[in-house]
Amino acid sequence: MEKIQKEPDNHQKRLVQAPGRINLIGEHTDYNDGFVLPAAVDKKMTVQLERNGHPFLCRITAGDLKEEFEFSLQGFSPLDSGWQNYVMGVVQELQQLGAGLQGFDCRFEGDVPIGSGMSSSAALECSLACGLNELFGLGFSEWQLIKAAQMAEHHFVGTKCGIMDQFASIMGKKGQAMLLDCRSLEYEYFPLELGGYQLLLLNTNVSHSLATSEYNTRREECGQGVAILKKEYPGITSLRDISLEQLLAGKGKMPEHIYRRCRHVVSENQRVLEAARALSEGKHKALGQLIYQSHFSLQHDYEVSCPELDFLVQQALDKDYILGSRMMGGGFGGCTISILEKRQAAQFVEEVSWKYRERFGIAPTPIAVSIEDGAKVIE
Ligand code: GLA
């Protein structure tokens, strides 16, 4: 790992940061062996780590929340909920990889808005995984750290997330989006150049409690779709292997909602590939159209949107200066991501904020992002 892993070396202290991410397109495709087009951003988690001389004691401070927590490396288990689970989850995954950890003090703080769909959780997991790798000279590869961070979320937090967020947080590159094949893990960087257009995130400032349970349900529903389709096409192992024509041919054999879940994933994979092409050819209007289509597919077929997200996308639809807009991340709240003319951005924010407040009683928050490098050691 160039940026993180040097010669395995022990340190007393380390300061490491890992960013949140945006995703241009490719939602709920990662855990279906599909394609995604994310990029790391300038919102990040910073972790300060120091050996404390104790063999087992870990003292953790969540700087933004002003909360503290202690646990022993000799025995720990998940709490009902809370940020502590991300920390202990990462520690457990590293231990399972054979890491010889000792007591440490850790303080983290960041500016990735929580519940915004920008992966504040991956930023925390990745900064900690990279930081411990450095502090204790563990010598794990980037891929091992990405996987450990993802599995922390599976095993300690309970969300069966895909690989996109952790991958983007560690592998991000300044000014570039990444087309990642979540099956082969091959990836390619694409300059995120939008000419007279810019990205705009609008945070709905809602985070509906369905997010975790429905996320896992969607994963299961995709599995059910694959199991049904396998009878017809025994060679397949995931929705990645299915074309829209094959899916349509199998429609009568599956419950209607399972068909729609599968249709989202299969069509979204196609959109990601088309979007990467459009981006590289500077075809911003075509990219915008794909982004709108992604939203409607997530809204109607995958059913992971919510009234607040739909409202913001609806407001964009009749504006010529907005090329595309959609919900971003897992859904049920968080941000929309839009591509719009730079010179119209401020006006749109003002107009949409007013209307949103009138409808929902709260204001959305515009979030300006720049595309930056993934996790790195600061000191
Ligand atoms: C969350 C998960 C990701 C991905 C997205 C939806 O961010 O952590 O793995 O599945 O939702 O695309």
304 lines ligand 1 (CB under 6 A): no
Q: What is the pLDDT of residue 6?
A: 47
Domains and CATH numbers, the chain: 2-192+372-377 (3.30.230.10), 197-367 (3.30.70.890)
Q: Rounded to an integer, what distance in angstroms lies between the CA atom of residue 230 and that of residue 210?
A: 30
Burial 164-181 (b: 16+ CB within 10 A, else e): bbbbbbbbbbeebbbbbb
The tokens describing 136, both together, are 């204790």
- Is 330 a pocket residue for ligand 1 (Cβ < 6 Å)? yes
Atom of ligand 1 nearest to the CA of 27: 12
Q: Which of 30, 105, 165, 301 is catalytic?
A: 165
For atom 9 of ligand 1, the residue with the nearest CA is 162
Question: Is the C-beta atom of 20 inside 6 A of ligand 1?
Answer: no
pTM of the model: 0.95
User: Atom 11 in ligand 1: which residue has the minimum CA distance?
Assistant: 330
Q: Does the C-beta of 108 come closer than 6 Å to ligand 1? A: no
Tell me which residue of 171, 186, 80, 81 sits closest to 122, measured CA to CA. Answer: 171
Which atom of ligand 1 is nearest to 30's Cα?
A: 10
318 given a catalytic annotation: no
Q: What is the pLDDT of residue 210?
A: 74
Cα distance between residue 168 and residue 54, in whole Å? 34
**Rounded-to-integer distance, Cα 187 and Cα 370, Å:** 21
State residue 9's pLDDT score. Answer: 58
Compute the distance between CA of residue 70 and CA of residue 255 in angstroms, rounded to an integer: 48
Q: At what angle do helices 164-171 and 120-135 cross, to 10 degrees?
A: 50
Question: Can you tell me the distance from the alpha carbon of 333 to that of 209, in angstroms, rounded to the nearest whole number?
Answer: 9
- Ligand 1 centroid from CA 161, angstroms: 6
Q: What is the mean pLDDT of each run of 10 residues along the chain (379 residues)?
A: 51 95 98 98 98 97 97 97 97 97 98 95 98 97 98 95 98 98 97 96 91 91 98 97 97 98 98 98 98 98 98 98 98 97 97 98 96 97
Confidence (pLDDT) at 208? 83
Residue 314 CB coordination number (10 Å): 14
Distance (Å, whole) CA 183 – CA 190: 19
